[in-house]
Structure formats: structure tokens, C-alpha cells
Amino acid sequence: MSTYLCSVTHEKELLTNKILETMRNLILSAIMLSGTMLCAQTDKMVTTKVKKETNVSDNGVIYNTKVKVVTEKTKNTQFDPAQKHQLNQDRVASPVSVTKTVMIDNDMDPFYDKTTQIKYYNFKGKKYGFHVNKNSLLITYRVDNKDISSARAIKSKYNNYYVINGKDFNGVGYFNKDNDFVVEYYDQKTDDTEIAVFEDLKL
């Protein structure tokens, strides 16, 4: 009887240890999954500015025009890689991506008449704005607070490429996996095909 009780007790201990080991593994997996989810978080900050002006129509009616600019700044949450095995990790600085949406109301009704989304890119140290309009992109840069048109990109109906035409570039373009805009164009100076990469502008 004593031998039987010892055997049963030993089996219970083994079962208990297995249960505890399984629970420990589940808890560790949950912590690791939680850490992975935290690393994938994105911080977003949205600011809105509205500029109003008073105008008078041809028949003497006074009305207001509005320009509303919504600026969205997003960045991926990044943690100190030296603390990757710790539960509470310190955040580290990460680049910020900026997108602006400009809405214009230029008549007497309460609705906005035109909406333009602008995404910013960097090429050779110069800041370019990509103005999104359905399936086309107007590529501009600023000189003396004025937008100067560089090229227009029209999205192909059959693939993810853009056909580009303008004073600076004539060729094809596409977005790569890093969200950069790559342009392949013919350069008359070199008499060869060149590649220009507009990098997703990070502040």
C-alpha cells in the first residue's frame, strides 16, 4: 500500500509540474506577443488649422471662404534594442511621416469644394510635395513660398506603375516596399536611363 501511495504521489507531482511548465510557457508567450504588438504600434498626431476670409459677390452678397489644413504626423513606436529582453522598455526617437490634407470652400454653401492630400518626399536634399488627386500625382517643390510643378504622374490602368510627364522627368515611377517613389527616366545629358528615388520624408 505504501509503495502504491508513493507511486500515486509521484505521478501527481509530475502532472503538477507539467501543468506549471505549460502555464509558464503560455505566460511567456503572451508577454512576447504583447511586446511584439507594442513594437508595432503607431503614434499619430493630427492638427487642424482653418483660415477664413470675407468676400463680396458680384451682386453684393457677403460670404466667407475657408481653407482648412489637416496635418497628420505618424511615427512607429520603437524601443531600445538593448532592452529587448526586458518587460518595460524605454522608447527611442523615431522618424515622423507627414501628410497634409487641404480643403477649400470658395463659395457661399457650407461644403468644401476641393480636397487635396499632400505627401512629402525628399530628393537630393529638396522637399517635394506629392499632391494626390484620384489616380494622379502632381509633384511640386516650393520656391519663394510658391509651388513649382516638377512633373505629373498618372497611374496605369493595368499595373501599379505611374506614367510620368513633366519638365524635370519623363518616364515611369512606382512605390517600393519602403514607400519611396522610384522614377526611371531618360536623361538627355547622359543619353541613358537614370533612376531618381524620392525618399519618404521623415522629420
Quick one: which of 203, 185, 202, 201 has its CA closest to 193?
Answer: 185
What DSSP string runs through 18-41? HHHHHHHHHHHHHHHHHHHHHHT-
Are 5 and 52 contained in the same domain? no
> Which tens digits make up the pLDDT trace of 138-187?
999 999 888 899 999 999 988 889 999 998 889 999 999 888 999 999 88
> Taking all residues of the chain, what is their mean pLDDT, rounded to a whole number?
78
> Which tens digits make up the pLDDT trace of 87-105?
777 776 666 777 888 888 8
The pLDDT value given to residue 67: 83
Are 93 and 24 contained in the same domain? no
Q: Are 132 and 155 a contacting pair, CB within 8 Å?
A: no
The pLDDT value given to residue 182: 95
The pLDDT value given to residue 35: 47
Are 10 and 47 contained in the same domain? no
> Which residue did the predictor score with more confidence, 148 or 71?
148
Are 110 and 48 contained in the same domain? yes
pLDDT bracket for residue 29 (50, 70, 90): low
Are 16 and 106 contained in the same domain? no
Are 1 and 62 contained in the same domain? no
Range of the domain at 165: 42-200
Are 103 and 162 contained in the same domain? yes
Contacts for 144 with CB less than 8 Å, ≥ 6 apart: none
Are 7 and 90 contained in the same domain? no
Point out the least confidently predicted range of 49-58, 82-91, 175-184, 192-201.
82-91
**Kind of pairing between the strands at 62-76 and 97-105:** antiparallel
